[in-house]
Amino acid sequence: MSDERAVPTMQTVRDGDGETYLLVKRSAESSRVRDPATGAERYVDNDDLSVVDGESPLATAASGVPEPVRRTLGAVRDDRSLGLLAVVVDEGPIAAIDLLDAADMCESDLHGSITEFRAAGLVEEAEVAGRRGYEATAVAIEALELLRGEPDSAAVTDSDED
């Protein structure tokens, strides 16, 4: 029987360099830890690890997902609201009345989604042709680029279309 055992509950740990990991397994001499950013696992001497009290291991696991994506996931309820955000990112700034015409949502659902996006810092009010509208923040633009798998700010230019 191996002296390596599964940890009964996940724990957040830090190594001597201050790097944060999830504890996967602990043995007498070393522990297997997972890097939340990459998912890569490695062994670290137990003497080089300390448990981080008060830090949720689930929050540590989530920390590997880029912050703009985490913020977006918290504000988007379903495919329709994600599509609404995509429209604001791709076509914005866009007048509220034009957004209502373009979206297949009732006014209250649209308003509810926009309110959640504003609270999450994904959209902000903007004036569009003298009317109230919305535009995406840099956080929303970055999140959609990451979710779409686009390289940083890769935009198609007229010369790319030739």
Structure confidence at residue 150 (pLDDT): 76
E strands, 15-158, are 20-26, 30-34, 41-45, 50-51, 94-95, 123-128, 131-136
User: What order do you get walking across the sheet with 94-95 strand by strand?
Assistant: 94-95, 131-136, 123-128
Same domain, 56 and 127: no
In this prediction the pTM is 0.75
User: Is residue 162's pLDDT more than 50?
Assistant: no
The rounded mean pLDDT for the chain is 88
17 domain-assigned: yes
Do 44 and 75 belong to one domain?
A: no
Of 127 and 102, the structure prediction assigns the larger pLDDT to: 127
Mean pLDDT of 64-85: 94
pLDDT tens digit sequence for 106-115: 899 999 999 9
CATH number for the domain harbouring residue 134: 1.10.10.10
Let me know if residue 80 belongs to a domain: yes
Residue 159's pLDDT is: 45
Q: How confident is the model at residue 120 (pLDDT cuts 50, 70, 90)?
A: very high
Q: Binning pLDDT at 50, 70 and 90, where does residue 4 land?
A: low
Number of domains in the chain: 2
Is there a domain that residue 159 lies in? no
pLDDT band for position 152 (50/70/90)? low
Last residue in a domain, options 32, 62, 92: 62
Residue 162, domain member (yes or no): no
Considering the domain architecture, whether residues 46 and 74 belong to the same structural domain is answered as no
Q: Is the pLDDT at 122 greater than 60, yes or no?
A: yes
Residue 34: which domain range? 5-62
Specify the CATH number for the domain of residue 45: 2.30.30
Q: Is residue 139 part of a domain?
A: yes
